[in-house]
Amino acid sequence: MRLSQYFLPTLKETPAEAQIASHRLMLRAGMIRQSAAGIYSWLPMGLRVLRNIEQIVREEQDKAGAQELLMPTIQSADLWRESGRYDAYGKEMLRIVDRHDREMLYGPTNEELITQIFRDNVRSYRELPKILYHIQWKFRDEVRPRFGVMRGREFLMKDSYSFDLDYEGAKRSYETMFNAYLKTFKRLGVTAIPMQADSGAIGGTLTHEFHILAETGESGVFYDVAYDELAAKDGIDLDALSKLYAKNDELHDPNAPGVPPPDRLKTARGIEVGHIFYFGTKYSKAMGAVVSGPDGQPVTVEMGSYGIGVSRLAGALIEASHDDKGIIWSECVAPFKVGLINLKSGDAAVDAACEDLYRRLPSCLYDDRDERAGVKFADMDLIGLPWQVVVGPKGVAAGVVELKSRATGEKHEMSAESALARLIS
């Protein structure tokens, strides 16, 4: 992509409404624009990141054996009356009336709809277990939408739902998702700490939240220092991990059994990027999701639900990785892998060297604008692509370009061919 043609409205000034780094940087780097309180448009640069996050989440769900489907955003109020949540959900639910005066709503989550789909289509225990998921926009009329996409009213969620014949099966599904979450966050380049949680409006007995550590996190977290040691290792030892103490500030009790001694107890702030629930037959019983068991008797299925805040993750990853100049993307979610800077657009030799690199780099944003070098450097640091290749008249004359790592700031001069060899792997 040529920057001269790209729709990338960057901002020099810090937007006054943004209180935290990720919100400021997403606005400044031309990723998002607010359209109403807590409702955002994703501009091309932001959408690329969102899609990359979504794809990693999708791949790990697929690997875990979950199957993707797509349910609508608009749901019928009657469905939610079956579970009793239509009244219970309160003001956070956006309620809509259609032209026939039928009550509808913009889905804040999908337990009811997936239970209906299951109940209408699955008859026998032989079809179990099943884990179904979708990646879809949700709406929750939050009292205080804030921090940009981190607490929006409209947001993108990956939500999975498991169906099993009995508790043992449901627990296996829960563990499968628990594992998939650890792998997902690891692939995204962050440590997410699973902690025992409160089940809130979803209901249930077994539930974990996954928190990315960041100073601006909304929740206080208390956890065993051994997490940091385990996270540094390559393979994740689930058994070891699940025995460690980790609680958010609402549930932390310094006097409870199992709390590590003060020198082993870490306090930090966390961003909740995932939340998983086992809730047994809460919805299946209320809505009649029943299969025939091995002995022909009807069995009410055991369920769980598993959410990841996909759009929240875009902000959370920036909170976890930025500096005073801008965003620092890891390669797996970066909108482009390389930013190519032409220091003298219009100079025939520099243009030719850049065009050649641009043609051969598969994921490259080429700054071909007629701008000062300082502006180009600042913009490239702001948008945070992992690699920068800088091409100027002196370098071209000497047969070298400069390769810079955004994360470390390290710069090396080398031939264009060596730079290409390093960047195309």
Q: In the complex, which residues of this chain contact ligand 5CA (CB under 6 A)?
A: 109, 111, 140, 142, 151-152, 155, 157, 159, 202, 272-275, 305-307, 309, 311-312
The nearest distance, CB 299 to ligand 5CA, in angstroms, is 23
Bridge-based pairing state of the strands 103-106 and 74-76: antiparallel
Neighbours of 6 (CB within 10 A): 17
Q: Which is nearer to ligand 5CA, 142 or 402 (CB)?
A: 142
Q: Is the dihedral of CA 172, 173, 175, 176 positive or negative?
A: positive
| Secondary element (H or E) of residue 157 | strand 154-164
**C-beta of residue 332 within 8 angstroms of C-beta of residue 187:** yes
Map residue 140 onto helix, strand or coil.
coil
The nearest distance, CB 109 to ligand 5CA, in angstroms, is 4
The nearest distance, CB 224 to ligand 5CA, in angstroms, is 22
Q: Which is nearer to ligand 5CA, 221 or 391 (CB)?
A: 221
Q: Is the dihedral of CA 88, 90, 93, 94 positive or negative?
A: positive
The nearest distance, CB 72 to ligand 5CA, in angstroms, is 16
The nearest distance, CB 92 to ligand 5CA, in angstroms, is 9
The nearest distance, CB 236 to ligand 5CA, in angstroms, is 20
**CA distance linking residue 413 with residue 393, whole number of Å:** 14
Q: Which is nearer to ligand 5CA, 33 or 372 (CB)?
A: 33
The nearest distance, CB 388 to ligand 5CA, in angstroms, is 31
> Pick from 19, 41, 46, 17: which is nearest to 31 by CA?
46
Q: Which is nearer to ligand 5CA, 246 or 365 (CB)?
A: 246
**CA distance linking residue 45 with residue 7, whole number of Å:** 8
**C-beta of residue 155 within 8 angstroms of C-beta of residue 312:** yes
**CA distance linking residue 327 with residue 172, whole number of Å:** 38
The nearest distance, CB 166 to ligand 5CA, in angstroms, is 21
Q: Which residue has the tokens 């921090």?
A: 147
The nearest distance, CB 189 to ligand 5CA, in angstroms, is 17
Residue 120: both structure tokens together = 């209408």
Q: Which is nearer to ligand 5CA, 65 or 258 (CB)?
A: 65
Distance of CA 360 to the CA centre of its chain: 30
Q: Which is nearer to ligand 5CA, 85 or 337 (CB)?
A: 85
Contacts of 140 (CB under 8 A, 6+ apart): 92, 93, 94, 108, 153, 155
Q: Which is nearer to ligand 5CA, 24 or 211 (CB)?
A: 211
Q: Which is nearer to ligand 5CA, 217 or 309 (CB)?
A: 309
Distance of CA 371 to the CA centre of its chain: 34
Q: Which is nearer to ligand 5CA, 6 or 137 (CB)?
A: 137
DSSP alpha helix (H) spans, 64-214: 77-83, 85-88, 111-121, 167-187
Q: Which residue has the tokens 């058994």?
A: 239
The nearest distance, CB 108 to ligand 5CA, in angstroms, is 7
Q: What is the largest CA-CA distance in the chain?
A: 82
Q: Which is nearer to ligand 5CA, 282 or 404 (CB)?
A: 282
